[in-house]
Amino acid sequence: MADLPQLRASDGEGAGDDLRGRPAVSAAAPEELLDVACAAALAAGALLRARFEAGREPAIASKSTPTDPVSDADLESQRAIRELISGRRPADGFLAEEEGADQGGSSGLRWVVDPLDGTVNFLYGIPQWCVSVAVLDGDRALAGVVHDPLGGETFTALRGGPASCNGRELAARAGDAPTLAQSLVATGFSYDSELRARHGELVARMVPLVRDIRRFGAAALDLTWTAMGRYDAFYERGLKLWDIAAGVLVCECAGLLVEEIDGGLLVAPPALAPELERLIAG
């Protein structure tokens, strides 16, 4: 995987620069860590689903911009995840979207969590949101889970192993490359207005050259759906580490190319990536 300098956990002191780095030493078995990640994601997903089905709830604050909301649901989900992980892995570090600062640990492992990816969708009653939980060894993802409570799908991956959905291995997509004109490309828009404007220009260039574009508003799900083959490729600017840590691992384990280009994250089959790179570069 290429370096991703724009995809930094820059809100936390001591956070890693990207998803690459020197792995730390830990005695934890990766399978055990994946079990913890699954338990945390499923627990958070259950409480979020209950809140979602109870009816629309308001945002309680804004974060990076006035259009970037946080809700009680985000905070409750994060508390549930942190409580479970700290109970089972008390020596590990913890970085989550709603807390910002990186809570350091002594084990060499760090949990990176988005307790509710797709908050705007959740608040508007749109059934397109998920929970993302990853554990990093150094600054590289070792295990990751993306859980879609409404869709009933749980995507999992271990570094070096296959990616799975509900326990079924995802077919490797390394050679699965349609032409650019036949490609369905997923994307998303940053909360930063300048980045949104730049990305809008790219989308305008891309629309006549691809099959179509999809924009649903939950990057972790976009990544896992690309790994599954529901999209042919994915590109987005302005993502944070918690948005992508688990989803990128799923994509890599499914054989997709993951790289940073022009301040954004591109995920595609290796044979399709060069055309998309040229298009993104303008």
Q: If you average pLDDT over residues 123-134, what whole number do you get? A: 96
Q: What is the mean pLDDT of the chain?
A: 88
Q: Please give the CATH topology (third level) of the domain spanning 180-281.
A: D-Maltodextrin-Binding Protein; domain 2 (3.40.190)
Contact 43, 147 (CB under 8 A): no
Looking at residue 173, its pLDDT comes to 83
Per-residue pLDDT tens over the stretch 188-235: 998 888 888 989 999 999 999 999 999 999 999 999 999 999 999 999
Residue 246: pLDDT above 70?
Answer: yes
Residue 101 CB burial class (10 angstroms; 0-12, 13-18, ≥19): middle
Domain ranges of the chain: 30-169, 180-281
Per-residue pLDDT tens over the stretch 38-87: 999 999 999 999 999 998 777 677 666 766 778 899 999 999 999 999 99
30-169 is classed in which CATH architecture? 2-Layer Sandwich (3.30)
Q: How far apart are CA 124 and CA 71, in angstroms?
A: 12
